[in-house]
Amino acid sequence: MPLEDIEGPGKYPDDLNSAWPLGSDTPSEGDDHLRGIKNVIRNWAGTFGNGPLSDLLTAAFAPLVHTHLWEDITDPPTAFPPLAHTHLAEDVTDLGDVLADYAPLEAPALTGNATIDGAAIASQDYVQGEVHKASIQIAEDHTLAVSDSGRSILMNTADATRTLTIPPNSEVAFPRGTRINIANWGGANDVIVNPGTGVNVLAKDGNTAISGNRAGATLEQTAIDEWWLVGDLSSGEGSL
């Protein structure tokens, strides 16, 4: 029977018939078939160049890891979306110019009332100023000021009774919870705690006199125009 037409140039694997040669073909036809197969292989391999199979594959396929010159790339992209990244401030050369374009944020206007656990609170609920201020010694009558908050006032009674007056909130607005210590310092006369107009002083048995050298008491504002007086108190001139 005739063999495939696989002799000569231009014959490639697609020209081979996998069913041929038949078992009934003569040996000489089988030899012709082998020679045709060699011709096909030679023609096909020649399209990749000569050499071992590894050389042929190297010539036909670029390696996975490789580089190219930019000028060798056809139709290169013209824009590159940056990957997410960060820079240190000192690495940004024009940071000052960039920040100059941004105005500082305007402080928001706060409205409404402050709350703690859902309950509204007033600004009077916060004691302002230092907790423990240096004590001062006074050798005269004294009217409390906001600057006395958290202070110990040592009143010298060596030559006379001293009066310490608590002004009303309309004159001096003390933060609620303000505490002031008062002491009878250096004398045998009394210190009298005197409530101003509209001020209520809460003291045991109405006693508002601090009698005796080194005796002391503490005033704490419990509400507007209401003060609790506790300490070494006695009934003296001006007691409630």
Distance CA 2, CA 191 (A): 140
Q: What is the pLDDT of residues 27-40, one digit of tens each?
A: 777 777 778 888 77
> 143 or 177, which is more confident?
143
3-state secondary structure of 108: coil
Contact 12, 40 (CB under 8 A): yes
> 2 or 37, which is more confident?
37
Q: What is the pLDDT of residues 59-118, one digit of tens each?
A: 556 566 778 888 888 888 777 777 788 888 888 888 778 777 777 777 777 777 766 566
Mean pLDDT of 174-202: 93
Question: Rounded to a whole number, what is the distance in angstroms from the first to the last CA of the chain?
Answer: 142
* pLDDT for residue 124: 47
Between vectors from CA 51 to CA 47 and to CA 53, what angle results, nearest 5°?
Answer: 85
Range among 10-19, 50-59, 111-120, 184-193 rated most confident = 184-193
Q: How confident is the model at residue 57 (pLDDT cuts 50, 70, 90)?
A: low
* pLDDT for residue 202: 96
* pLDDT for residue 63: 62
Least confident of 116-120, 140-144, 165-169, 188-192: 116-120
CA 73, distance to chain mean position in Å, is 46
Distance CA 205, CA 153 (A): 23
Contact 203, 240 (CB under 8 A): yes
Residue 138 has pLDDT above 90, yes or no: yes
Domain boundaries, the chain: 1-80, 125-231
* pLDDT for residue 48: 55
